[in-house]
């Protein structure tokens, strides 16, 4: 039982760790490209010190290859990585039939979503 | 511009190393350094600091989880308390005068610095009885300590105390936007009596989630300035990767001796801030 439990935990750790690695490498690469474009060209893609703050504006800027928008896209991926990490953990616990932790993790995920919504309302 | 970027990058590497070793977000370095050394507006420094917390958390967790120092179950379970606390904090922020909070929590931190100092000679917790809830939630664990060159099995005590303290940690980070990592390490170290490396790694794992919950708001408010946040994110990620290697080769005693002065520094900072408000 204990051995089985350990190997399960091991698998879970590898999945979560790999997921975080993908999120981090992806966001770091995008931020790096955006920063390099900004420093080399000296142009942020926006006038003055302005930078976009809404997802739509950022997304539109990315399509036009604006350096600031690219950096912010990378940062959004970085911010979302821990949130998706919680989501991935739910799936891993489901796969392992660890229903107590499926409940615990789902509850955390729910609170996170609520807090995102509340943040928007504010 | 390039020079400033490189300076922020170097500062952030240091913050990432430091934060990943101690289980803190590095905000305690990033915020004052950006405002005092580089004269950056506090509005953008706060945004950069929240990015730094998330980058430290995810960057360090890659290695700590793989090396099984992080206790994922403890982290997940306690995240209920921190996320609920963060929401509570955001809700009551208009109702309470944060002046008193800074003083109260500052004093609480100072007190815990003394409690930690009492454990200064201790490499690993001894004779910890498993709390019944810890059994139920299967929180006990083990990790391989690279310095002691042995497998360390540990029991988890004080589940209720730790959970309550985590709720407080969440409220504080929701209210004041600071110190979430420091209170988490403290809760796991003093209440749940975990080995310090497990406390630090698990705190690292958790701080990203709490910070991500409020980062969206910072983004929409325009606190995240790309030219500042970009070198912070990149530097902290590099630093956190280096920090995880250093931490595993440090004695817990050494980590504690670095942690205590930080605790004292932050608590005094909070108390002073409270009196100034």
Would you call A114 and B87 a contact, using CB atoms and an 8 Å cutoff?
yes
A with B: how many residue pairs have Cβ under 8 Å apart?
159
Using a CB cutoff of 8 Å and minimum separation of 24, what contacts does A6-15 make?
A: A8/A96, A8/A98, A9/B68, A9/B72, A10/B68, A11/A92, A11/A96, A12/A89, A12/A92, A12/A93, A12/A96, A12/B72, A13/B65, A13/B66, A13/B68, A13/B70, A13/B72, A14/B66, A15/A88, A15/A92
pLDDT at B201 over 70: yes
How do residues A23-53 score in pLDDT, each as one tens digit?
999 999 999 999 999 999 999 999 989 999 9
Q: Quick check: B230 contacting A, CB < 8 Å?
A: yes
Q: Quick check: B13 contacting A, CB < 8 Å?
A: no
Global ipTM = 0.90
Contact, B211 vs B58, CB < 8 A? no
How do residues B1-47 score in pLDDT, each as one tens digit?
789 999 999 999 999 999 999 998 877 889 888 988 999 998 899 88
Q: Quick check: B152 contacting A, CB < 8 Å?
A: no
Helix (H) or strand (E) holding B151: strand B150-154
Domain boundaries, chain B: 2-276
pLDDT confidence bin for B89, thresholds 50/70/90 = confident
Chain B positions touching A113 (Cβ under 8 A) are none
Q: Quick check: B224 contacting A, CB < 8 Å?
A: yes
How many CA atoms, within 13 angstroms, populate the side-chain half-sphere of residue B39? 1
Closest Cα in chain A to B221: A53
User: What are φ and ψ of residue A97, in 5° steps?
Assistant: 55, 35
Nearest CA to CA, how far is B129 from chain A (Å)?
Answer: 20
Q: Is the dihedral of CA B211, A24, A86, B205 positive or negative?
A: negative
Chain B segment 175-204 residues within 8 A of A by beta carbon are: none
Structure tokens at A111: 């609170």
Q: What is the pTM of this model?
A: 0.92
Question: Domain of A41?
Answer: 2-121
A contact test, residue of B230, B234, B240 with most A CBs within 10 A: B230
How many separate domains does chain A show?
A: 1
Instruction: List B141's β-bridge partners, or say none.
Output: B154
């Amino acid at each position: 039982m204990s051995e089985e439990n350990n190997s399960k935990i091991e698998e879970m750790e590898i999945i979560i760790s790999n997921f975080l690695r993908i999120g981090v490498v992806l966001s770091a690469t995008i931020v790096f490209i955006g920063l390099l474009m900004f420093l080399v060209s000296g142009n942020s893609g926006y006038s003055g010190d302005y930078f976009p703050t809404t997802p739509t504006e950022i997304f539109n800027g990315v399509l036009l290859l604006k350096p600031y928008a690219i950096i912010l896209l990378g940062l959004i991926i970085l911010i979302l990585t821990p949130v998706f990490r919680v989501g991935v953990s739910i799936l891993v616990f489901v796969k392992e039939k660890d229903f107590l932790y499926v409940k615990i993790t789902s509850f955390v995920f729910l609170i996170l979503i609520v807090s995102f919504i509340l943040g928007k309302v504010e | 511009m390039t020079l400033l970027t490189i300076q922020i990058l170097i500062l952030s590497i240091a913050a990432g190393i430091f934060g990943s070793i101690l289980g803190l977000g590095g905000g305690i370095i990033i915020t004052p350094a950006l405002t005092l050394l580089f004269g950056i507006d506090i509005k953008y420094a706060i945004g950069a600091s929240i990015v730094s917390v998330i980058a430290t958390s995810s960057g360090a967790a890659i290695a700590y989880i793989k090396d099984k120092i992080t206790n994922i179950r403890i982290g997940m379970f306690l995240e209920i308390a921190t996320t609920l606390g963060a929401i509570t904090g955001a809700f009551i922020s208009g109702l309470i005068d944060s002046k008193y909070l800074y003083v109260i929590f500052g004093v609480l931190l100072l007190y815990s610095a003394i409690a930690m100092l009492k454990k200064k000679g201790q490499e690993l917790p001894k004779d910890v009885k498993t709390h019944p809830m810890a059994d139920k939630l299967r929180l006990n664990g083990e990790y391989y300590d690279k310095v002691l060159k042995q497998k360390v099995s540990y029991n988890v005590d004080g589940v209720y105390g730790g959970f309550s303290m985590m709720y407080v940690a969440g409220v504080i980070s929701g209210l004041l936007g600071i110190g979430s990592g420091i209170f988490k390490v403290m809760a796991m170290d003093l209440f749940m009596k975990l080995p310090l490396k497990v406390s630090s790694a698990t705190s690292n794992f958790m701080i990203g989630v709490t910070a991500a919950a409020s980062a969206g708001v910072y983004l929409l408010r325009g606190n995240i300035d790309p030219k500042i946040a970009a070198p912070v994110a990149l530097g902290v990620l590099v630093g956190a990767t280096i920090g995880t290697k250093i931490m595993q080769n440090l004695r817990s005693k050494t980590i504690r001796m670095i942690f205590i002065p930080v605790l004292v520094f932050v608590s005094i900072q909070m108390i002073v801030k409270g009196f100034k408000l």
